[in-house]
């Protein structure tokens, strides 16, 4: 994808659903050319729905792939909803931390999209016990592989499943 193809794109939201356009081996770094082609991009949201429990990364952080440096100078806010500790998803988060020079906040949320209550009487959608286990493992992976790469100028948000609606 050529640099500057989406010159005025400021907000990008992508939904990846199991059984549609991705599978357990999806290479999240393949999204990087979209950032390169969108020099004005300020806000990026990635929603991952129904991911596999397989291929959880528990290896050496040094084995994570690094792409050549490319400044994503206007990207200020990134949210990954439905995060899970798959190696390629961790690589994307690390790439954005290293290359988004204006990044102000990174939210890495292990809860599935739309699973949060408002806290004003509305309850969260029910989560299976396996989803809560996935969330725990995801939070540990963020601490192990991502937290150390967060610059002091970036706020890292790692919400746990709602404690009002789900025991964690």
Q: Is 27 within the bounds of a domain?
A: yes
Number of other residues whose CB lies within 10 A of the CB of residue 121: 6
Residue 167: inside a domain: no
Kindly state whether residue 2 falls inside one of the protein's structural domains.
no
Q: Read off the pLDDT of residues 2-30 as tens digits, 9 standing for 90 and up.
A: 555 899 999 999 998 766 555 667 889 99
Domain count, the chain: 1
Does the residue 3 lie in any domain?
no
Residue 87 counted as domain residue: yes
Q: Is 1 within a domain?
A: no
User: Is 5 a domain residue?
Assistant: no
Segment 72-131, tens digit of pLDDT: 889 999 999 988 888 888 999 999 999 999 999 999 998 765 556 655 666 676 777 777
Structural contact between residues 77 and 43, judged by C-beta atoms closer than 8 angstroms: yes
Report yes or no on whether pTM surpasses 0.85. Answer: no
Range of the domain at 54: 11-157
């Amino acid at each position: 994808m050529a640099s500057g193809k989406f010159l005025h794109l400021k907000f990008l939201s992508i939904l990846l659903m199991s059984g549609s356009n991705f599978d357990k081996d999806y290479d999240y770094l393949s999204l990087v050319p979209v950032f390169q082609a969108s020099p004005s991009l300020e806000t990026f949201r990635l929603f991952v729905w129904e991911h596999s429990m397989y291929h959880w990364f528990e290896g050496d952080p040094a084995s994570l792939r690094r792409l050549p440096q490319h400044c994503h100078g206007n990207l200020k806010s990134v949210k990954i909803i439905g995060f899970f500790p798959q190696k390629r998803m961790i690589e994307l988060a690390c790439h954005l931390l290293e290359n988004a020079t204006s990044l102000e906040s990174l939210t890495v949320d292990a809860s599935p999209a739309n699973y949060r209550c408002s806290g004003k009487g509305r309850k969260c959608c029910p989560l299976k016990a396996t989803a809560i286990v996935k969330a725990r493992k995801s939070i540990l992976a963020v601490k192990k592989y991502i937290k150390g790469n967060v610059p002091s100028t970036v706020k890292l948000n790692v919400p746990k499943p709602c404690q009002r609606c789900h025991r964690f």
